[in-house]
Structure 1
Amino acid sequence: MNPRPLARFSDSVAATTSRSCPDYSALHRWSVDEPEQFWTSVATFFDVPLTRHASVLSPSEDPRVFSGRQWFRGARVNYVDRVLAWCDRSPESVAIIDDTEPGGLGTRTSSYAELAEQISSIATALHSLGVRSGDRVAGYVPNTTEAAVAFLATAALGAVWTSCGQDYSAAAAVDRLGQLEPAVLVTADGYRFAGVDRDRRDQVAVLHAAIPSLRTVIAFSRLGTDVPGAVRWADLLDEGRGGPRVVPEPVPFDHPLWVLFSSGTTGRPKGIVHGHGGVLLEHLKSAALQSDMTEDDVFLWYTSPSWMMWNYLLAGLLVGSTVVCYDGSPGHPDAGALWELAARHRVTVLGTSPGYLLHCESVGVEPARAHDLSALRILGVTGSVLPAAAHGWVAEHVGRSVHLAPVSGGTDVVSGFVGAPTGVPVVPGEIPAVNLGVALEAWSDDRSPLVDEPGEMVIVAPMPSMPVGFWKDPSGDRYADAYFSTFPGAWRHGDSITVTSRGSVVIHGRSDATLNRNGVRMGSADIYGVVERLPGIEESLVVGLERPDGSYWMPLFVVTSDDVELDDDLRERISAALRREASPRHVPDDIIEIRAVPHTRTGKKLEIPVKKILSGADPSAVADPESVDDPDALRWFAALAPGS
């Protein structure tokens, strides 16, 4: 058996730098002690030609910050070159499997050769429409082959991609996509979700009318209809068939590749700009070295084009893997739908959320008994904190040989900060390791590094995939304020974490929502991990508020199962479990039943907005309703605010 990518990289490092790294810990230490040597080694290992006429790491042009602009100045690159290299190396291998719910279009596959032809056809069409390097192309799209091709064709021209899923309303899409003044919109007539066809042609019309910069709309069909006034995607493919292969435009290392958006729960969504070179290096490192993927893998992460994990899903194409694009619900026609999809396509690396795993457990799904998951090697989990108890369920019901890989990162770097490389043991409740090239620490308020106690998560050195800036922020003030205002000279990410003496990381939740009871800091995830395993509890949310009289109120809000009432007995069982499995300090002051927990559209609980509303803020001022999965669930908390 050939060595896995991380082992081959370690051997390569030893051969080219005389640096012996006998284990992951040593390799990580070298990667942050010698960042220029490390990232040069990554580029060399993956045959990315960056080092000629380029400085590896330059001082920041803005002394307040560090960013993706500091890397490989003078180098020219294009993200798409790497994908097309696999089209030459493995033309008959399957690049993308596109699948839908029952009743939809069914399964479609594209080989790497076919992918190259599609990219070339759409790039030629975009060029004929006047799209040039630096212009913007927006996607209002489901997670499909066409969405991936549209991004790759855009990037090949040096144009800038941005997207959101069609579950967003036109108004929410305009708030995001409209900021970039795109020249072309790529869209679909709709998508199928939870057994229902969702026709989005009316929303496309509103979106088109609301963005004056749009010159053309290109539309593909998922529901068998045409979008009025749009150029048909299928016609563009027909016109380009048999034409010349696109030659990707070489662009500077920090040239914008795409613009992603913050959640919008703290104001208008911020456009986060990432560069070609930074994303290319980071995603090669993450896919191959952190996630152990090669051309032999089939990669499925349940996501949508509104979430950075969609961008990361496409990293599978950089290492020659087969990527599965799925635009339906993970729970239709039943809760085990995602496992069925993984089994049918022989998925080897599957990604999902803690919420999905907990739901499967609560309704009695037994994935390994119901489906053949013998191909599955790695189960990645992100989006929120994975409770320790979930590890036992995965071992028992998914497979003891499956590597459960909790990871955490952010849209800000379109990747992970911490993860679970396959050679590092996983301790339930912890993320095993800090990712290579990430100089991560937990700090106290006075900037002292902490070990084995909670602190603020900070990154103390630049990463190539850090933003090259925010969209329409020429002074850099918004960028500096977002990450560097708390600790000048260090990136504060906003998570409360513990770095253990073994090098693992425990994430307690967002630091702004950290519970601070009588001077003792606690993470909300510690409470959720206990409460949400109790029979009759579907979900929970906890916040802590400092009251004007100096007292501290820590209410716990719970969603119960349909046939369960929150009575005194259930309240006592919740309190007893927290007292027993966490500590007496984790027992809430009040336990209150709610209809639903409000989340961002990517599934994160809105602890901070709820805290602000309970302190008297207007719900519409703390979160854009379009960024919330259930705006009424968020507005409900206003009734508990002072003076209401």
Structure 2
Amino acid sequence: MPADSVTADGALWAPSAEFAAQSVLTDYLSWLQRERQLDFTDYRQLWEWSTTDLSAFWLSIRDYFNLDIDDPQQVLDESAGMPHVRWFIGSTTNYAANALVHEQESGLALQSLNESGVLTTMTWRELRLAVGGLATWFRAQGIVPGDRIVAYVPNIAGAVIAMLASAAVGAVWASCAQEYSAQGAHDRFAQLEPKILIAADGYHHGGKIFDRRQSVTELAGSLSTVESVVWIDNLGLLDETTRGERFTDLTENGCEPEFTRVPFDHPLWVLFSSGTTGPPKGIVHGHGGILLEHSKFCGLNTDLVPGDRFLWLATPSWMVWNIQISGLLVGATISTYDGAPSWPDAAQIWRIAERLGLDVLGVSAASLVAAHKGDMHPLDVAPNLTLSAIGSTGSPLPPDTATWVYQRLPQVWLASASGGTDICSSFAGGVPTEPVFADQIQGPALGVRLDAWNEHAQSVIGETGEMVVTRPMPSMPIRFWNDTDFAKYTSAYFDHYPGVWRHGDWITITERGGVVIHGRSDATMNRHGVRIGSGEIYQVVDQLQEVADSVVVGVELADGGYWMPLFVVPARPPVDTRRLTQLIRNEIRTNASPRHVPDEIILVDSLPHTRTGKKLEVPIKRILQGADPVAVLNPQAVDNADALYQFIAFRPLDKTRTDPPIAARK
């Protein structure tokens, strides 16, 4: 199929005829024509069908990717409405069986790199045998389908093996990065009542090693249901005094794995909400829904093919780590990286990609922004770079950074995406047969009936609206943990529009069919009757060389007034604070609008974030309005809890406030 007919005027990149013709998407379209007698001329026609005839579309995904999922009695039952829909009724499957079916005796399945430069690899056979050995041990410990196995680990090969072995026996997996304290991990794991804890002795970050043996011991002691601890010797710190099983003892000999078939909606893993405003909520996804969604995402929206080398830089606390493992579903070679992608500098992402020989690299938008600010040419630091695609997610990618990527790597397809832990995938993302424009994601993902609704719940094009999904997706949570009556689940997504998923973002669907993310709707500012998305300000401010970090909030005042401060962390101590703040105001006024210019710009030494790097607009707003930081935010869920308390001094009604010397006022 030729490249889609969306006009390329003003595009940063357009697929060549060869690129489009060789894409998985084009092959899928040919397959639909041949096997289903369905003829679609472009992505937009395909998307319309995929979100209208859901049963036919998702059944085609099973068949095209040759997934081992039994024929269902019924593909989809929507009679009870979202969130109570049922998928593939009567079908059984197993995630790990599908992930490990692409066996080539000597083909590379998994490669792992750490900050010290140590690179290890596993063939498909070696991976299968390691998973089989660990799964056999799990069964010997009495693990049965539905039991919970949790892991306190960095992004290493052992974590991948353990997750697949958990899935193989039908256990429910959950993982947490070791940057979290023992208490932070406990807050997530304790609610699951796990039987087995997998833990590493520590991790690499920022040129240092972090010994986590004491934290593991504290965590294991706090989880009363844990019967066994399995240690991964990641740093070589384990000795005879460390009590517990050794991961290598359970996997080094190995055996062919046996896979327990489970119902389509049997829990596969539990992901966790950030836990910033209360105990982390456990979000449960099923084997079958993830198999369908991740095969579609990795194949059709990311264009991974067998043998492609794939890494998404993430920790096991972020849902893209799970997507990274699912590269196995389409036969890709997946990769892990134990370390900081920004050390020794922001160009490290290119060195990692070169060392691993990556075809597809996934990063956070913040990593690309940092690389842009550093402005080291990727080919100067990594002359043998072989990337064909870059995925970006986590926050909106500023247009200036997207432009910079194409100035440096003009042949690479930049596939920005926006999704969520909630569905463990993307709502909008890459389209390999369409052009890329700097200011928008290429389009809604297949199978996702994405829309923007105005205040009257009417669909709008070219206007900002609430992001909604009006038809079900198989990877929507099967439930929240310990939420048998669906009360928390319903409150999270369906209270505002019954039967319609409201995600909580402001978006614009453009006339081209692209998607622009403006930021959280619960953090949107309404200034003098004008609705302002925080993302519109970040797109300007965060690309400035002089700015390391920022957060903007809108605060309703007791006297009816409105105060919109912008807090900025300078990239380096400013010589002239007034000149810096004036520069920021001018940039916002010119590149956003005069209405986006904040009332005050306040320079601070640091800002807090969630553990996955999200900005904390709503909690900061509540603190500025007088709330106790501990009452609005769990300090364990924040990367820099001390930075929260500085906002008490900035409360607009606090007459005794003394601004820090670095503060710059309008």
TM-score tier (shorter): over 0.9
CA distance in 1, matches of 2:513, 2:596: 26
1:313 maps to 324
1:453 maps to 463
CA distance in 1, matches of 2:264, 2:565: 49
2:396 maps to 385
Deviation at 1:174, TM superposition (A): 0.3
2:177 aligned with 1:165: yes
CA distance in 2, matches of 1:460, 1:194: 43
TM-score (norm 1): 0.96
Deviation at 1:53, TM superposition (A): 4.0
What SS does the aligned partner of 2:56 have?
Answer: helix
1:336 maps to 347
CA distance in 1, matches of 2:650, 2:452: 34
CA distance in 2, matches of 1:235, 1:533: 49
Deviation at 1:635, TM superposition (A): 1.9
2:274 maps to 263
2:98 maps to 82
CA distance in 1, matches of 2:590, 2:188: 46
1:180 maps to 192
CA distance in 2, matches of 1:539, 1:565: 18
1:55 maps to 74
Deviation at 1:574, TM superposition (A): 1.6
CA distance in 2, matches of 1:426, 1:116: 38
**For the Cα contact (< 8 Å) 2:310–2:327, is it kept in 1?**
yes
Task: Kindly report which structure 2 residues correspond to 1:93-492, keeping only aligned pairs within 5 A, or say none.
Answer: 93-102=107-116, 106-226=118-238, 228-238=242-252, 240-241=253-254, 243=255, 245-397=256-408, 399-492=409-502
* 2:346 maps to amino acid: A
What SS does the aligned partner of 2:51 have?
Answer: helix
Deviation at 1:565, TM superposition (A): 4.2
Residue by residue over 1:501-547, the C-alpha shift from the partner in whole angstroms, topping out at 9 and shown as x without a partner, is 22111000011111211221121121112222334222221111121
Residue by residue over 1:474-499, the C-alpha shift from the partner in whole angstroms, topping out at 9 and shown as x without a partner, is 11111111110111110010111011
* 1:634 maps to amino acid: L
What SS does the aligned partner of 2:349 have?
Answer: helix
Number of residue equivalences: 633
- Give the unaligned 5+ runs of structure 2: 1-17, 658-666
* 2:102 maps to amino acid: W
Deviation at 1:597, TM superposition (A): 2.2
Identity of aligned residues (%): 44
* 1:542 maps to amino acid: V
Deviation at 1:49, TM superposition (A): 4.2
**For the Cα contact (< 8 Å) 1:66–1:461, is it kept in 2?**
no
What SS does the aligned partner of 2:310 have?
Answer: strand
Residue by residue over 1:172-204, the C-alpha shift from the partner in whole angstroms, topping out at 9 and shown as x without a partner, is 000001110000001111112111111101001
* 2:71 maps to amino acid: R
**For the Cα contact (< 8 Å) 1:575–1:588, is it kept in 2?**
yes
**For the Cα contact (< 8 Å) 2:415–2:430, is it kept in 1?**
yes
CA distance in 2, matches of 1:119, 1:225: 24
2:88 aligned with 1:72: yes
CA distance in 1, matches of 2:271, 2:79: 22
Q: 1:292 to 1:535 in 2, by over 3 A?
A: closer
* 1:224 maps to amino acid: G
2:664 maps to none
* 2:492 maps to amino acid: A
Q: What is the aligned counterpart of 2:563 among 541, 553, 558?
A: 553
* 2:610 maps to amino acid: T
What SS does the aligned partner of 1:33 have?
Answer: coil
Q: 1:300 to 1:108 in 2, by over 3 A?
A: same
2:7 maps to none
What SS does the aligned partner of 2:399 have?
Answer: coil
Q: What is the aligned counterpart of 1:564 among 568, 571, 574?
A: 574
Residue by residue over 1:98-141, the C-alpha shift from the partner in whole angstroms, topping out at 9 and shown as x without a partner, is 11112x7x111000000000000000011111111110000001
1:606 maps to 616
* 1:74 maps to amino acid: G
CA distance in 1, matches of 2:361, 2:205: 20
**For the Cα contact (< 8 Å) 1:342–1:373, is it kept in 2?**
no
What SS does the aligned partner of 2:455 have?
Answer: coil
CA distance in 2, matches of 1:60, 1:411: 26
What SS does the aligned partner of 2:175 have?
Answer: strand
Task: Kindly report which structure 2 residues correspond to 1:625-644, keeping only aligned pairs within 5 A, or say none.
Answer: 625-641=635-651, 642-643=653-654
2:15 maps to none
**For the Cα contact (< 8 Å) 1:560–1:566, is it kept in 2?**
no
What SS does the aligned partner of 1:272 have?
Answer: strand
Residue by residue over 1:426-485, the C-alpha shift from the partner in whole angstroms, topping out at 9 and shown as x without a partner, is 111211100000001111222111111111100111100000000011111111111101
Q: 1:638 to 1:18 in 2, by over 3 A?
A: same
**For the Cα contact (< 8 Å) 2:70–2:93, is it kept in 1?**
no
Task: Kindly report which structure 2 residues correspond to 1:26-45, keeping only aligned pairs within 5 A, or say none.
Answer: 26-45=45-64
CA distance in 2, matches of 1:620, 1:614: 13
CA RMSD in angstroms, aligned pairs only: 1.5
CA distance in 1, matches of 2:58, 2:545: 48
TM-score (norm 2): 0.93
2:16 aligned with 1:4: no
**For the Cα contact (< 8 Å) 1:60–1:66, is it kept in 2?**
no
CA distance in 1, matches of 2:384, 2:466: 39
CA distance in 1, matches of 2:512, 2:151: 43
CA distance in 2, matches of 1:569, 1:188: 48
Residue by residue over 1:254-299, the C-alpha shift from the partner in whole angstroms, topping out at 9 and shown as x without a partner, is 0000000001112110000000000000000000000000113100
CA distance in 2, matches of 1:373, 1:315: 26
CA distance in 2, matches of 1:195, 1:558: 27
- Give the unaligned 5+ runs of structure 1: none
What SS does the aligned partner of 1:172 have?
Answer: helix
